[in-house]
Amino acid sequence: MSVRTRFAPSPTGFLHVGGARTALFNWLYARKHGGAFILRIEDTDAARNTDEAYSVIYQGLHWLGLQWDEGPEAGGNFGPYFQSQRNAIYEKHLATLEAKGVVYEDAGTIRFRSPRKTVVVEDLVCGKISFDMSNPVTHPDMTIRRPDGSWIFHFVNVVDDIEMQLTHVIRGEDHLSNTPKHVELYDALGAKPPQFAHIPLILNHEGKKLSKRDGGSSITHFIDGGYAPEAVANYISLLGWSPKDNREFLSLEEIRELFTLENINRRSAIFDLDKCFWLNGQYLLHMSLERFAELTLPFIDKAGIAYGSKEALLPALAIVKPKVKHLSDVPDWIGYLFTEDYAFDPAAAEKALRKTGALDRLAQLKAAFATVAEWTHPALETKLKETAEQQGVKTGEFIHPARVAVSGRAVGPGLYEMLEVLGKDRVLARFDRANAEFSA
């Protein structure tokens, strides 16, 4: 039977890192085995369901590159893929249980009568676990339907896993204690349980289960915060899993090759936002300029930077790429390259341009640069050094005023790269502008 896995989130308005990891592991397992990865929305709690809550899930999965084969948007033969639209299916399975006499009514709720046996779960990560279900005090008969007709998670989750013919249920360890109840339902419905794999919890730095309140625990944080999806997918894959050789930089393709459920750790994983941040910086540094451009364009467009053409944009991106840590920083790092109306940071101007003699140096540098025929980084560097030497001052006396004059700020890409990208005419004009602005 070919592998079928699923990600079954509730639309809470939030795609948590833990949920994203569950989705990733299910996707990896399905892809690795040539199976199908299904997205099923567990939206039985009508009160919480908003369009926004659904789209946060789709957007997060698309962004991470986890395309599903069946589910919302994709369709498939086992739909509908929203629990809120599967009522007739649940009614049918409830009727099966009723016919078997294993459910009863209790103050308007419908409960499932536990067979009160020991349930053995062979979990692919946690191993063989026995759950003694004999005591009704510790294991009361589970409710499967509320008095208002709505369904309880355990029942619809199991019915759907049966109906959708799932072969593997890979989910967070917080569901391990639910598993014996689920197995009881599979048995009662006459179905063979899927293979279970419960993946370790993700903890915060205090050793508590990572929650919504923990900074950076939502995928939206990474999308809006300018992370590269490949960096985040890589980071998330390492939460509870690692390749045998302890490599840390892995593309989704490599992870897919190396991924096995056997390599999943039993120990809890610690969520380390600093590590994710570091990994992201490494990805930005090493990715191709094309990819960097593709990822930064939404931020650049949102900021309304009039960069003209892609040909004009790429050189600007090339010089900031080694410096930025977040894609969302890029507009600020390149904005002044595309307008003559850039602002001067008051502190930077005070230090570099209002300093005694600074404007004289700018004038000397302008005269020297005016003679440069081939406007390239090395030629400009040589010329600036030569000028400093002639004037008997340190190169910094020229570098700082030049940088602030052409960019309005003290920090940015390498000066010579920036001058080269701006071109001769604009650099000389910017020197004049700074001179006019600060000579008063």
Residues that bind ligand GLU (CB under 6 A): 8-10, 42, 157, 169, 171, 175
| Residue 7 phi, psi dihedral angles, 5° rounding | -115, 130
- Between 111 and 182, whose beta carbon lies closer to ligand GLU? 182
Shortest distance, CB of residue 341 to ligand GLU, whole angstroms?
50
- Shortest distance, position 8 Cβ to ligand GLU, whole Å: 4
CB of 83: closest distance to ligand GLU in angstroms?
Answer: 9
Beta carbon of residue 127, minimum distance to ligand GLU (angstroms, whole number): 19
Nearest to 306 by CA among 330, 337, 328, 275: 337
Q: Is the dihedral of CA 183, 185, 187, 193 positive or negative?
A: negative
Separation of alpha carbons 228 and 230, rounded Å:
5
Min dist CB 75 to ligand GLU, Å, is 21
CA dihedral 356, 358, 363, 368 (to 10 degrees): 130
| 252, HSE (Cβ side, Cα atoms, 13 Å) | 18
Q: Phi and psi of 202, rounded to 5°? A: -110, 125
Q: How far apart are CA 431 and CA 440, in angstroms?
A: 15
Catalytic residues: 212
- How near is the Cβ of 172 to ligand GLU at its closest, in Å? 7
Nearest alpha carbon to residue 206 among 214, 195, 198: 214
DSSP secondary structure string for all residues of 373-397: SS--HHHHHHHHHHHHHHHTS-THH
The residues facing 63 across adjacent strands are none
DSSP characters over 357-374: THHHHHHHHHHHHHT-SS
| Both structure tokens of 120 | 């053995």
Q: What is the nearest approach in angstroms of ligand GLU to the Cβ of residue 7?
A: 7
Q: Kindly report the number of other CB atoms within 10 A of residue 131's CB atom.
A: 18
The residue among 156 and 293 lying less far from ligand GLU, judged by its C-beta, is 156
Q: Find the shortest distance in angstroms from Cβ 66 to ligand GLU.
A: 15
Q: Which residue number, 11 or 331, has a Cβ lying nearer to ligand GLU?
A: 11
Nearest to 153 by CA among 45, 276, 5, 302: 45
Separation between Cα atoms, residue 159 and residue 153, nearest integer Å: 10
**Cβ proximity to ligand GLU, 83 vs 435, nearer residue:** 83
Q: Max Cα separation, the chain?
A: 100
Three-point CA angle 393, 397, 402, nearest 5°: 140
**Of 185 and 427, CB closest to ligand GLU:** 185
Between 119 and 349, CB nearer to ligand GLU: 119
In the three-class reduction of DSSP (H, G, I as helix; E, B as strand; rest coil), residue 27 is classed as helix
Amino acid letter for position 213: R
- 227 DSSP assignment: -
Q: Where are the beta strands (DSSP E) in 55-126?
A: 103-106, 109-112, 118-123
